[in-house]
Structure 1
Amino acid sequence: MSQISSLFPPLCTTHSNPVNPELSASCIWNCPEHNALEAAQAFLSAHNVSFILAQFVDIHGSIKSKSVPVHCLASLVSDGAGFAGAAVQGFTMSPQDPEYMLVADLTTLTLLPWLPGYALIRGTGMVGDSAYALDSRNLLIEQCERLQQKNWRLMTGLEPEFYLLKQDSEGNVSTYDDTDNQEKPTYNYQGITRNAHIIEPLYSALTKVGLDVYQIDHEDANGQYELNFKYDEALKTSDHIQFFKMSAKEIANKHGALCSFLPKLSATTTGNGMHVHCSLVDSEGSNLFNDDNDPHQMGLSALAYQFIAGIMAHAKGLTALLCPSVNSYKRLISGTPDRPSWAPVYIAYGDNNRSAMLRIPYGRIEIRIGDSSMNTYLATAAIIAAGLDGIERKLTPPDPININFFSLTNEQINTLQVDRLPENLSEAINELEKDPFFAEALGEEFIDNFIRIKREEWQRYHLQVSDWEIKEYLSFY
């Protein structure tokens, strides 16, 4: 992760320029002229860091941390920070089990610009002598290693959407900016300028640690925004997303706002998506998904079509991992021609077709069904696994469909023989269980545990009686 580019003091002839924009944590810690631990300690001392947040995520992607005094960095790297795994949701550990140890990776060391005196670090979750199988970041590392065996890397660009809200003393939620009330507020400049006191420090925090932010816009719902930063290797991008989520929440909180990644705020509100752009590259960085001789004129190679076929073959089970909450499926609706949902529900792909599950911006693949509640480590691991399955079995996808699905009737869609994604979390979990592939690829213990937790979540939801039911049925029968 490129975190500290212009902030590191010159320590060697290779990195003698302290304002060199090429300078990153990764190149410093791996430089043969540096002792990695000493370089990290010097960096932390130069920036008056007192505490390091040793950080990992639970099965939902929720960030967990322990504050470690900076003088303990050496033991954090050698032994790790210990956590009672039985207290972490999704870690199937008991009180008598060994601790979950987060063994720090110095290449992930990152300052927290909005919290002076603090840095964070990530690493490998260990139980005993083994990488813990229920740590989703470990799952992604494992899938990336499968790619490395072929001299490939998956480059991903994730597009997180979020709401800026406020909540009163009674728990009522509304848009943070009262003037953000246009019927069609997409790209509304006032949404940016009147909330610059939140957006600018967020931008500053991200850029200070090396994220290349290239656009911020007001999205389709009141109080909704999207921030885009440059793609990177899959693991680094997921790390970036965790840093972005933490930064956005904390900076918003400082200004009395609530930053929410809830997939769907209301029936009439556009949902928070997290589109995943993918391309495989070789050891030289060449895009293996790109082929200008593509007969469909989408710039895709045979390898890319096999990857697409793998995603489509496992689309229903994959949905449970990319759309992991009850609320996710309030976003996955069909929409109408005049008001599309921007969250396609049809298992298809097409050239720049935003109404299909997979959109093809020339020479790469965009997976459009995921939302901002997903655990990006888990979701990306599942995407790699499904795509590799298509490549290894040399699967062939159906032809692309370049029509607006929102303009078609169900009968017309059936004629095209296009299947639909699950309509709720219960259906998605059933599809995940029916597809043995993900248990084989990501581990039976992990998938079984995920299914159990999500079935409990569905059951808790199903036991609730909503206001809609009272209004609809109170005096109807």
Structure 2
Amino acid sequence: MNAERANLAELCEASGTTFVLALFVDLNGKPCAKLVPVEAIEQLIDEGVGFAGYAVGAIGQEPKDPDIMAMPDATSFTPIPFVKPGLAIVHCDPWVSGKPWPFAPRVILQEVVARAAAAGFSPYAGAEVEYFLLKRDAGGALVPADSDDVAAQPCYDARGVTRMYDHLASISTAMNALGWGNYANDHEDGNGQFEQNFQYAEALTTADRVITLRYLLNVMAHERGMIATFMPKPFSNRTGSGLHLHLSLRDASTGEPVFPAGADGTDADVDGFGLSTTARSFVAGVLAHATALQAVIAPTVNSYKRTGAIASSASGATWAPKLPTYGGNDRTHYVRVPDDQRIELRGGDGSANPYLAVAAAVGAGLDGIAGGAVLGDVGSGPDTPFPATLLSAVEAFEADPVIRGVLDAAGPGVSDYFAHLKKNEFFAYHAAVSEWEIERYLTAF
């Protein structure tokens, strides 16, 4: 029995677990799992549990390839009896032929964390998970699950939060039972849109928690007859859903933060944001790679209807960045600096795979540090157009060896596969005839 995973059996026994969801995600973020009875837990520990990789989805396999074996990480063990009595999740690392599979997002993030450690840093992340709670009306159209949620500016409305109290409280209680430290639950800017926050943690832990939270939101909303969606822009006239990432670095040896001015032995704070030279170079790296980064943190066709919104939302603002700029406590920027401890990357959305998003953002920042990148004036950014479509983002990704190198961190070929996957997604969308086209062109000529 692998010593690092051996205590999984003990964790199951102590928590009264009877079944374990051995879970991992593909490159698109699809959660894949097998339900393992506790009687087979030692087999899961020793051998993993097998999956036909091509059937999983976007994970770099063909039908002829050998099985993916999902190897459990006991440190991620998460009892979820509030979903089903005796149920738990354990996040897994996909292996093939006795080695970690390089196309697995969790494996990729672990490699980037190892790179950061080699450079003397430990990356930390917080995540803001925005989502809509919807239902279908009698005609089949998607509408807010709360039929009274019709205000033009519903953000932070106490009445909207109270009407959804049972759902929000059950998710909050679940997060706190798991030790995540839920500290706020609010109605966001769109009708039917919510956000529930939890404390930041090491990068891998936070990515695991985002996947777990999405799962919990989906299944617990479904039990109440609702649809929880992380689609970036489900309504053209309402604010879209972001996955804002709060990123920071600590000294790998001491555990001390390195973003505050002076923490890295420098006296940076040149613009009043309180950032060290290391932090400023990290931000400069993120901005330098922003156009390519968007292909990873905003990876769907629908993503660019959020960042590229032409019309404002019903509330008066889209809250999505349109240019790769940075600033202080100002939510119009791509990178916001709320304090001297962290930066907030606001370009990502609800469709982002959290493992890849964190890995790519950290990789871009580390490149800035390694190259001694110099941050420009407040409000400035690289002199490159922000991608208007998924296709233009993927083309920028293909031209950026640093962001490609993040996806290839655990082995070659992943970045090519990802670019091909996303181009095909764009062309499939482009080939579909939309209702907009019918209305625009049917009798126009």
TM bucket by the smaller chain?
A: over 0.9
Q: How far off its partner does 1:36 sit?
A: 7.3
Contact 2:26 2:59 in 1 (8 A): yes
1:23-422 correspondence runs (5 A):
39-112=7-80, 113-168=82-137, 171-282=140-251, 283-291=253-261, 293=267, 294-333=269-308, 339-363=316-340, 364-401=342-379, 419-422=384-387
| Matched residue count | 431
CA distance in 2, matches of 1:173, 1:441: 37
Give CA deviations for 1:175-197 in whole Å, capped at 9, x if unaligned: 10001110110101111111112
Cross-structure match for 1:459 = 427
Contact 1:192 1:217 in 2 (8 A): yes
Q: How far off its partner does 1:114 sit?
A: 1.9
Where do 5+ consecutive residues of structure 2 fail to align? Answer: none
Q: How far off its partner does 1:71 sit?
A: 1.7
Q: How far off its partner does 1:448 sit?
A: 0.8
Give CA deviations for 1:378-412 in whole Å, capped at 9, x if unaligned: 1111111111111111111211129xxxxxxxxxx
Q: How far off its partner does 1:46 sit?
A: 4.1
Q: How far off its partner does 1:50 sit?
A: 1.6
Give CA deviations for 1:212-257 in whole Å, capped at 9, x if unaligned: 0000110111000011110000000000101111111111111101
> Which protein shows a greater Rg?
1
Among 439, 448, 458, the alignment partner of 2:404 is 439
CA distance in 1, matches of 2:4, 2:407: 32
Q: For residues 417 and 142 of structure 1, do their structure 2 counterparts lie closer, same or farther at Cα, with a shift above 3 Å needed?
A: closer
Contact 1:348 1:418 in 2 (8 A): no
Question: Residue type matched to 2:304 in 1?
Answer: Y
What RMSD over aligned residues (CA atoms) do the two structures have, in Å? Answer: 2.1
Give CA deviations for 1:125-169 in whole Å, capped at 9, x if unaligned: 111122100001100000001112234211111001000100247
Q: How far off its partner does 1:37 sit?
A: 6.4
Contact 2:108 2:406 in 1 (8 A): no
Output the TM-score relative to the length of structure 2. 0.92
Question: Residue type matched to 1:360 in 2?
Answer: V
CA distance in 1, matches of 2:216, 2:96: 29
Contact 1:345 1:420 in 2 (8 A): no
Cross-structure match for 2:439 = 471
CA distance in 1, matches of 2:9, 2:99: 27
Question: Residue type matched to 2:261 in 1?
Answer: D
Q: How far off its partner does 1:47 sit?
A: 3.6
Contact 1:216 1:227 in 2 (8 A): yes
1:423 aligns with 2:388: yes
Give aligned-pair identity as a percent. 36
Q: Secondary structure at the match of 1:462?
A: helix
Q: For residues 302 and 258 of structure 1, do their structure 2 counterparts lie closer, same or farther at Cα, with a shift above 3 Å needed?
A: same
CA distance in 2, matches of 1:250, 1:441: 32
Deviates more, 1:435-444 or 1:218-227: 435-444
Q: How far off its partner does 1:340 sit?
A: 2.6
Question: Residue type matched to 1:197 in 2?
Answer: D
Question: Residue type matched to 1:230 in 2?
Answer: Q
Q: Secondary structure at the match of 2:428?
A: helix
Give CA deviations for 1:248-280 in whole Å, capped at 9, x if unaligned: 111111110111111001211100011111110
CA distance in 1, matches of 2:312, 2:25: 37
Q: How far off its partner does 1:284 sit?
A: 2.9
CA distance in 2, matches of 1:357, 1:388: 18
Question: Residue type matched to 2:22 in 1?
Answer: A
CA distance in 2, matches of 1:270, 1:461: 22
Contact 2:239 2:317 in 1 (8 A): no
Cross-structure match for 1:17 = none
CA distance in 2, matches of 1:99, 1:419: 42
CA distance in 1, matches of 2:161, 2:60: 44
Output the TM-score relative to the length of structure 1. 0.86
Higher RCO, 1 vs 2 (CA within 8 Å, ≥6 residues apart):
2
Deviates more, 1:145-154 or 1:246-255: 145-154
Question: Residue type matched to 1:430 in 2?
Answer: E
Q: How far off its partner does 1:203 sit?
A: 1.0
CA distance in 2, matches of 1:194, 1:381: 37
Q: Secondary structure at the match of 1:361?
A: strand
Contact 1:346 1:418 in 2 (8 A): no
Contact 2:326 2:379 in 1 (8 A): yes
Q: For residues 290 and 431 of structure 1, do their structure 2 counterparts lie closer, same or farther at Cα, with a shift above 3 Å needed?
A: same
